[in-house]
Structure 1
Amino acid sequence: MGIRKRKGSDVWYVDVRTPGGERIRHSTGTTNRKEAQEYHDKLKHDQWRVAKLGERAARTFDEAALRFLRESEDKADYVHRELHIAHFCERFAGRNLDTLTRDEIFDALPQVSRKSKKVTALTNGTRNLYLGTLRAMLNKAAHEWGWIATAPKLPNLAVANKRVRWITRDEARKLLKTIRTDWMRDVAVFGFATGLRQANILGLEWSQVDLVKRRAWIHPDQAKARKPIGVPLNTEAVEVIRRNLGRHSTFVFSRRGKPIVKWDLAQWNRAVAAAGIDHFRFHDVRHTWASWHVQGGTPLNRLMELGGWSKYEMVLRYAHLAPDHLAHHAEAVTIWAQSPPGVPEGNAKSLVA
């Protein structure tokens, strides 16, 4: 055992046993024998210190990235996690995990996006997604795997609070009238009626619908939070489903008898413009549905269930739309608990008004 080359490869591989008997075999990452031998000797030395002195074994960023991605394979956002980790690997590959500093991590955050040959500056919101992925990996390394003593503190970058984008029922009716394609109109109506995400609507199968009991369901592997969602169907949602009976054997919504693989964004944007509505994405249909619910008196905890949100904070952004539940608390700060001086009993309310 020691260092050796594998058949057909110029790279040296290390093959050693730890003091505890564990066998370690992997690439040294170099074709230089001297460098490979130095790597081997350091590895043996480190393993001895771990076994005899109780020191923590040094782990690399690459090792952590590989394990984190393996443990994330069942996550709904796996594709994004993979993208984020790949970005940081370009900067931290080969580095010992416990040497990463807070400042280095923030310096390594991406500044621009280069999609479709177009370079655009990334918002802090998007950069926070990268930060969140790395934070999750380092926290696992510290608290679950025991690879590092502590994880760097990585607070999110400041993000400007934006208003929740929603439209009124009158605006929604105008929008639906401007959509010329039947399948797109049906999808939009179903979105306003159920609040489901676009992917869940387009992928909805007949096996997920019970028209008799007026309900549908989203399976855990289809939900963003990886939890099942029960969907009560109101009258408009039921009517939409009935209109689509017999059009496709598997999917509720179809286009010319075939599954819908892609949303027609160009036609959607034309319809939005024709209805005189500014900057309204299809995802804003979900925001609109939630806003209507809150304005109609649906409690936030029930809305959380209906929308399949995993965090209560996600529904709190709609709370301001219906502050009625706070109205009685407003009386706690009235100036005149009784009639103010010089004002006859019963006239205090007119004074305040």
Structure 2
Amino acid sequence: MLEWFNPRLSGLKIEQIDDDCIDALVEELVLSERKPSTVNRYLSLLRAMLNAAILWRWLKFAPKVRQVKDRAKRVRWLTFGEAMRLLTQLPPHLSDMAAFSLETGLRRSNVTGLTWTQVDLDRSVAWIHADQAKGRRAIPVPLSSTACAILRKWILQHHEFVFVYRGRRVIQTNTKAWRLALDRAGIKNFRWHDLRHTWASWHAQNGTPRHILQELGGWSDERMVKNYAHLSVQHLTPHVDQLHSVLRQGSLPVGRIRRIREPSE
């Protein structure tokens, strides 16, 4: 279990193991082939490590690490209208960071830690170094015109980090300002990490091929991408239309089609 946690937490300061970080870890565990009881053992170990850090006075307090009750998990994502409503309620620095997340699908730590050395606006590209990625593989990040426009607003704000507040790098996003903006926007049960879910869901609905989405999101396991597969139905529509076309032409003996038995029969 420690071998599993090590590459995912290596390089983080212990105070950076926050709610968003834990949510990402839980998501990866839940979507793996591990049983719920096994997932809970991993989470118990993580809880023990954080509690030890408090005992040793490395931390003042630790985020809660809750047990999972069921492997089934619904993807939480926003409609475009909901997302725009949220952005208008956030303070400028969080609004730009959230909008950039929706454009790129980057994880919270990659957005808060983004430096100007990782950005090439002339080529409309950014990159996440291997030691900054959860999968320990470098991630190329193509930038949309909207993402580039957001970055240009911050060019002269800091010599190293892209997104700052009052001259200092932004580290925490789950702040009072974030929670108040969610309330004002009428959005419930939504975490910063769900911006990444929203980005992936929009891509799936727009028909982005699964292997392309996997590469864009920096996932090493295709099973993570399958979490959004049900949102893409474009490849199914022609088959539905074809059936109706056949029925209209009278090619199927509709009157003789037997009733399909229910599984319980």
Tell whether the structures are fold-level matches, with TM greater than 0.5: yes
The partner residue of 2:197 within 287, 293, 297 is 287
The partner residue of 2:234 within 313, 324, 337 is 324
Per-residue CA deviation, residues 321-342 of structure 1 (Å, 9 max, x unaligned), is 1122133445798896715379
Secondary structure of 1:325's partner? coil
Contact conserved, 2:174 with 2:192, CA < 8 A, in 1?
no
Residues of 1 paired with 2:68 and 2:174: CA distance? 29
Q: How many residues align?
A: 216
Q: Specify the code of the residue in structure 1 equivalent to 2:8.
A: A
Contact conserved, 2:107 with 2:196, CA < 8 A, in 1?
yes
Q: CA deviation at 1:310?
A: 0.8
User: TM (normalized to structure 1)?
Assistant: 0.54
Percent sequence identity over aligned pairs: 40
- The residue aligned with 2:210 is 300
The partner residue of 2:85 within 149, 159, 174 is 174
- The residue aligned with 2:253 is 340
1:122 aligns to 2:122 (yes or no): no
Q: Specify the code of the residue in structure 2 equivalent to 1:221.
A: D
Structure (1/2) with the larger strand percentage: 1
- The residue aligned with 1:208 is 118
Residues of 1 paired with 2:45 and 2:134: CA distance? 27
Specify whether residues 317 and 193 from structure 1 end up closer, same or farther in structure 2 by C-alpha distance, changes over 3 A only: same
1:1-353 alignment runs, 5 A limit: 75-78=7-10, 109=41, 110=44, 122-124=66-68, 159-179=70-90, 181-330=91-240, 338=251, 340=253
Residues of 2 paired with 1:187 and 1:225: CA distance? 22
Contact conserved, 1:220 with 1:227, CA < 8 A, in 2?
yes
Q: Specify the code of the residue in structure 2 equivalent to 1:310.
A: S
- The residue aligned with 1:58 is none
Contact conserved, 1:112 with 1:119, CA < 8 A, in 2?
no
Secondary structure of 2:234's partner? helix
Q: CA deviation at 1:273?
A: 1.0
Cα-Cα RMSD:
3.5
Residues of 1 paired with 2:62 and 2:169: CA distance? 31
Per-residue CA deviation, residues 74-118 of structure 1 (Å, 9 max, x unaligned), is x223599xxxxxxxxxxxxxxxxxxxxxxxx97x94499586779
Per-residue CA deviation, residues 283-332 of structure 1 (Å, 9 max, x unaligned), is 00000000111111111110000000110000101011112213344579
Residues of 2 paired with 1:209 and 1:240: CA distance? 12
Per-residue CA deviation, residues 235-267 of structure 1 (Å, 9 max, x unaligned), is 110111000011000111111122223325221
Between the two structures, name the one with larger relative contact order (CA 8 Å, sep ≥ 6). 2
- The residue aligned with 1:62 is none
Residues of 2 paired with 1:195 and 1:119: CA distance? 24
Q: Specify the code of the residue in structure 2 equivalent to 1:263.
A: T
Residues of 2 paired with 1:119 and 1:221: CA distance? 24
Kindly report structure 1 stretches of 4+ aligned residues shifted beyond 3 Å: 77-80, 108-122, 327-337, 339-342
Contact conserved, 1:214 with 1:233, CA < 8 A, in 2?
yes
Name structure 2 gaps, 5 residues minimum.
Answer: 13-36, 52-59, 256-265
Residues of 2 paired with 1:341 and 1:166: CA distance? 40
Contact conserved, 1:164 with 1:287, CA < 8 A, in 2?
yes
Residues of 1 paired with 2:85 and 2:237: CA distance? 34
Per-residue CA deviation, residues 2-60 of structure 1 (Å, 9 max, x unaligned), is xxxxxxxxxxxxxxxxxxxxxxxxxxxxxxxxxxxxxxxxxxxxxxxxxxxxxxxxxxx
Q: Which has the larger radius of gyration?
A: 1
